Chains A and B, each alone.
Chain A
């Protein structure tokens, strides 16, 4: 599948690396197809790009770059339905990263992480209730197991 990007032109992306949203990201409800672009130079982030709008792309990362304790995400019945979650499925959880235009402060949205069902590539932005996580958690300086190690097979660039 071909993905148009503004800076990098057309990328050929393996179909199995696509991520599908049955209910788009909040504010981007019409965009249902995204891909991970994992470049060495992006790490510890992964570029998460819309396959339908070349102006929409996010930096995403493992939540533990922004979370000093445990990170608990509970899925509602609705979340599970939209992920078509079945017994034995594996899920990946990642957060959207914001880089401030001025000052370059890096924060992660722990209040609204993205959950991906790795079996069927269905994803959903969920809302974490009952915890004090914010949409702007500052990045921690420590290093953790990076997201791309969990997603090494998630993309191909031709």
Chain B
């Protein structure tokens, strides 16, 4: 990992399009300003990881499982096509 020490108000450049500025340092927290082109996604790591993990968990559902799950939610008044489980 590349390590750079920066003071308040100083920047780091990544390539020619991304600039990170130290805006505030207070009580163990660092506030960063990030200038990047629109197509560069900037996320807090923990949120990124949470969504990624949830995507993985959700990703393998089969149509038969989906039907079973949906069947448990069907309103009683609506008739479904096909066989009805007991």
Point out residues on A near B: beta carbons under 8 Å. Answer: 5-8, 23, 25-28, 37, 39-45, 47, 55-59, 76-78, 80-82, 96-99, 104, 106, 109, 111-112, 125, 127, 129, 135-136, 143
13 further contact pairs, Cβ within 8 A, besides A42-B70, A57-B61, A58-B55: A7-B63, A26-B51, A28-B55, A40-B81, A41-B70, A41-B81, A43-B70, A55-B60, A78-B40, A96-B55, A99-B61, A106-B69, A135-B54
**How near does chain B come to A96, taking the closest CB pair, in angstroms?**
5
**Residue pair B62, A57 in contact (C-beta under 8 Å):** yes
Point out residues on B near A: beta carbons under 8 Å. Answer: 37-41, 43, 47-48, 50-67, 69-75, 80-82
Q: How far is the CA of A112 from the CA of B50 in the complex (A)?
A: 9
Which of A27, A42, A44, A129 is in CB contact (< 8 Å) with B63?
A: A42
**How near does chain B come to A60, taking the closest CB pair, in angstroms?**
9
**Minimum-distance CB pairs A-B, first 3:** A112-B51, A78-B38, A135-B54
Q: How far is the CA of A41 from the CA of B65 in the complex (A)?
A: 11
Which of A112, A127, A143 is in CB contact (< 8 Å) with B75?
A: A143
Known: A82-B39, A96-B58, A97-B58. A59 touches B66 (CB 8 A): yes
Across the interface, which residues of B come within 8 angstroms of A56, CB to CB? Answer: 59-60
Across the interface, which residues of A come within 8 angstroms of B39, CB to CB? Answer: 23, 78, 81-82
